[in-house]
Amino acid sequence: MGMSNHNMFGINLEKGEPIIVPPLEDTNKKGTLYFLSNLDHNFPCRVRTVYLFEPSKNEGNVEGEVVEVIKNALSKALVIYYPVAGRLTVVSEERMAVDCTDEGAVFVEAKAGCTIAEIGDDTVSMNNLVYDCPAAKHIIEVPPLAVQVTKFTCGGFAVGVCVNHLVFDGQAGMDFINSWGKIARGLSLKVPPFLDRSIFKARNPPLIKFDHKEYLEIEDIPNSSDLSDEEIIYKSFGFDTMKLEKLKKEAMEDGVVGELIEKPLSFAVGLVREAIQMVTDRYIKSTIDYLEVTKAKPSLAGSLIIASWCRLSFDTTDFGWGPSYLAGRVSFPAVKESAIFMAHPKEKKSINVLLGFPASSMKSFEELMQI
């Protein structure tokens, strides 16, 4: 297998050519379409995460087995999670779906010329540990899943994951990765994944034209800093509403910049609470109907994206060499104004906040927070 050289923190990293890992056996879904909802269309982007594993103290698992164990478990997981083995398409009804081709996931093997301890603990800067299919110029061309397994000289390894957010949201992605780990450890899945997306459909779905040529990645949206006092700023909160009929919706509330600056912090907090309280069962059902009729996508201009990953079980991912000692997001959302809340990897009662702001805004933020 040919290897290409990359540089990571001044450390040599050799990457093999990407291969395709197909499902281990026939999924019985080949040729079918797994339709996506209009809620899925809201955030068309790649999401990159990385999981770091220390050298194993278990003599039963050796470093040389890592790639084959993870790869074989992936092929088994793709039988159960069959849409992950497919490819996105725009169907004849001009709706987006996953074509269940049984093609498989993209897989890359890599070797680092250092120990895993030498790369530090800043996951946001670990881009070279994730393969994100750079040849894909349009979100529809991005496979549902790409995996990179990087081995270190100490026996530790990293699993870098890039998913297409049109197919995976945070919880679905975490469920898949942890199920994949269970399969690698020889365990059976006691609860099969819930893949029925019919609950996302509108009650009277009209046929609306979907122009995929105009469907651009969020990564193309420019920064929105240095707003005037009269401009509107939006706070966008991602909600996991699985308990509300397994639906997902973005609640948004807005305020005038000048008003937010002049009034006390409690005013902004009140707006946030009001936005959260808006997300009721009736609100979600109404939103599904609205998106079905209008095919509207949220405008992210002037938006601050706030997301909580605190309940995602990063620390339970285990492929047979013990749970990851460090895991997290590799890149920020494409909209630069963002705040991601994540559980601290070691201090369980603490929270890490990853902030993404333009340099001018970050300077003001540091002054306000007295950092």
User: Would you state the pLDDT for residue 192?
Assistant: 79
**209: pLDDT strictly greater than 60:** no
Over the stretch 260-288, which tens digit does the pLDDT of each residue have? Answer: 778 887 887 887 788 778 778 787 777 77
Give dist(CA 197, CA 246) in Å, integer.
Answer: 9
pTM check: above 0.85: no
Over the stretch 93-130, which tens digit does the pLDDT of each residue have? Answer: 567 889 999 999 999 999 999 999 999 887 778 889 99
Answer with the residue of higher pLDDT: 24 or 275: 24
Residue 142 in tokens: 């991005």
Highest mean pLDDT among 140-149, 166-175, 181-190, 258-267: 140-149
> In Å, what is the CA distance from 202 to each residue of 75, 92, 251, 253, 321?
34, 19, 18, 24, 44
Answer with the residue of higher pLDDT: 20 or 328: 20
Nearest partner of 165 among 31, 291, 39, 286, judged by Cα? 39
User: Would you state the pLDDT for residue 336?
Assistant: 61
Over the stretch 320-366, which tens digit does the pLDDT of each residue have? Answer: 999 988 888 887 655 567 777 777 766 767 777 777 777 777 788 78
Average pLDDT over residues 65-85: 95
**54: pLDDT strictly greater than 50:** yes
Strand ranges across the sheet with 232-241: 247-256, 232-241, 303-308, 338-343, 351-356
Average pLDDT over residues 199-210: 44
User: Would you state the pLDDT for residue 45?
Assistant: 83
Cβ contacts of 188 within 8 Å, gap of 6 or more: 182
Answer with the residue of higher pLDDT: 185 or 245: 185
**Percent of the chain topping pLDDT 70:** 71
Give dist(CA 139, CA 144) in Å, integer.
Answer: 10
* Identity of the amino acid at 329: R
**228: pLDDT strictly greater than 50:** no
Give dist(CA 153, CA 147) in Å, integer.
Answer: 20
Average pLDDT over residues 215-238: 46
Domains of the chain: 3-199+318-332 (3.30.559.10)
Question: Which of 99-108, 140-149, 249-258, 333-342 is the least confident region?
Answer: 249-258
Give dist(CA 137, CA 217) in Å, integer.
Answer: 9
**56: pLDDT strictly greater than 90:** no
165 C-beta neighbours (distance < 10 Å), count: 21
Confidence of residue 255 (pLDDT cuts 50, 70, 90): low
User: Would you state the pLDDT for residue 210?
Assistant: 40
Measured N-to-C along each axis, helices 66-80 and 170-184 cross at an angle, to the nearest 10 degrees, of 120
**237: pLDDT strictly greater than 80:** no
- Using DSSP bridges, classify how beta strands 232-241 and 303-308 pair: parallel, antiparallel or unpaired: parallel
Instruction: Give me the chain's average pLDDT, please.
Output: 77
Residue 305 in tokens: 């994206």
Catalytic residue set: 165, 318
Confidence of residue 151 (pLDDT cuts 50, 70, 90): very high
Cβ contact 229:67 at 8 Å: no
- Cα 136–67–46 angle (5° rounding)? 25
Question: Which of 92-106, 227-241, 263-277, 305-319 is the least confident region?
Answer: 227-241
Average pLDDT over residues 202-218: 42
Confidence of residue 57 (pLDDT cuts 50, 70, 90): low
Residue 22 in tokens: 């197909």
Confidence of residue 4 (pLDDT cuts 50, 70, 90): confident
Per-residue DSSP letter, 305: E
| Segments of 230-366 assigned E as strands | 232-241, 247-256, 303-308, 326-329, 338-343, 351-356
Pick left, alpha or beta for residue 226 (phi over 0 → left; psi -120 to 50 → alpha; otherwise beta).
left
Per-residue DSSP letter, 92: T
**242: pLDDT strictly greater than 80:** no
The distance in angstroms from the start CA to the end CA of the chain is 48
